[in-house]
Amino acid sequence: MANLGLSATGEHNLPTGYALLSDPLLNKGTAFTEDERNRYGLRGMLPPRVFTIEEQEARALAAVRKKSDNLEKYIFLTDLQQRNEVLFYRLVINNLAEMLPLIYTPTVGQACLEFGSIFRKPRGLYISIKDKGRIREVLLNWPQQKVKLIVVTDGQRILGLGDLGALGMGIPIGKLSLYTGCAGVHPGYCLPITLDVGTDNETLLKDPFYLGLNQKRVEGPAYDEFLEEFVMAVKEVYPDCLLQFEDFGNRNAFALLHEYRDRICSFNDDIQGTASVSVAGIISAVRRMGGKLADQKLLFLGAGEAGTGIGELWTEALRHEGLSEEEARKRCWFVDSKGLITKSRWESLNDHKRPFAHEHAPVATFEEAVDAIKPTAIIGVAGMARTFTPAILQKMAALNKTPIVFALSNPTSKAECTAQEAYEHTAGRVIFASGSPFPPVEFGGKTWQTGQCNNVYIFPGVGLGVLACRATKVTDSMFLIAARTLAEMVTDADLAVGRVYPSLSMIREASARIAVAVAEEAYKLGLAQVARPADLNAAVRSCMFTPEYEQF
């Protein structure tokens, strides 16, 4: 198994002078030694004092903390990443709990909204519908030839913010930063891509400073042909690449996953990654309750990518517990914009909803569905703020000794309820998780640490495992194994203070363990393209990039 890390290509191939300082993968800034300054034409181009990387990190951390708001901190960190990636990732890795909310949720949502005004320097590729017929040529413009990981979006469903078109580039940039920070995938292997097919966001279309195409979204056959060309070009130009679909609209997300999961090594994080981290949290919650997985009845608010993805993986988890598929699906109920999903609505339902259409009388609202279904857990994935009302939370507390409430919509402004509300309206008996972070809750004389159901616990480890063994396919079984692996890391001490996920400080270890488990599954299924090493754990961990300066 080859090490995934990139190393310097040798002294004779290194750029010199300003070109070296302009390469974020090679630039050390003020940490270049006296000898390196002499040999690479840097004398006079840097302040005279030589700093250690530890001193640089301390200075950068102090600078972040001086910024007045999170968007300013995001801008500073983006600038740092664009000039010195080793220092950026060292700062992130050594301060994960503080940095993750800044480089991804919830701050990335605001950053995407402001992307046009904070745009500084291109990062990643913009491939527009106008590039149809020459996408391969555009991919070859990327300076790194060893791309192994692409995160791509068309900007149609950015978090809970809707259609942001080309401004959605903040999402693949952020996701790939997490791949490196949390799982050690070398940044030189990562390529963020935004596919610009237009936008239906009228505000953006009227904005004279909007960065994307000033046209309505292309749909139908023209869209499908564009995506086909894109995926086939990726497969040709980067044959060992893992392709992650991110923040596509519901119809396209399901269609793309169905069309390409067996044709190129790929997955959809909104469907499969969200499912995995959510199932991990439910497994942990049930462990705290002392019950059985098969005894749980889940009621979802929202039946899109995230919700039905969770339902599908939960069904698979229950099948492993011995239930039939029909029995497992009957433990999952969904409410969408038209009410409870039932058999009577079959003809009007999208394909991804139909497996969860059960026999039941019509129910119009989510609160009425709670009364009718009597769930043990409610899971919000509709992007509708404050829809877990005090009345609904109180009903859940009346129905269950320990109600499970997952308010998963992002960003924070879209959360179905706050952590404080969940504890107050369930007399402190709730097991709570959310998509965006909430501060600890003081209730009943105790401090409760709220769990963040964040895909960052899952997709970096899955990606690392796939790349480490060069798997030809990403399977649903890998995401179930990832969920179980993550849940196993939750300690009794975590559960005692309300957490159903490990501390974010454990994210690198979680990613490593998930990667090993995913690679093991790939070997079991015959999907790996490299020989299984004697020590798989050591081999996978050896692939993880560590942000230290190389000596040139």
Active site residues: 104, 175
Question: DSSP letter string over 74-140?
Answer: HHHHHHHHHH-HHHHHHHHHHTHHHHHHHHSTTHHHHHHHTHHHH--S--SEEEEGGGTT-HHHHHT
C-alpha span between 6 and 182 (Å, rounded): 17
Query: What residues form DSSP beta bridges with 152?
Result: 193, 245
* H-assigned helices in 400-534: 419-424, 459-469, 476-488, 492-496, 507-525
Pairing between strand 441-443 and 446-448?
Answer: antiparallel
* Residue 195 contacts residue 127 (beta carbons within 8 Å): yes
* Residue 529 contacts residue 469 (beta carbons within 8 Å): yes
C-alpha span between 374 and 369 (Å, rounded): 8
Q: Which of 364, 246, 268 is nearest to 312 (CA)?
A: 268
* Residue 341 contacts residue 357 (beta carbons within 8 Å): yes
Q: What is the DSSP letter of 355?
A: G
C-alpha span between 116 and 125 (Å, rounded): 16
C-alpha span between 88 and 64 (Å, rounded): 11
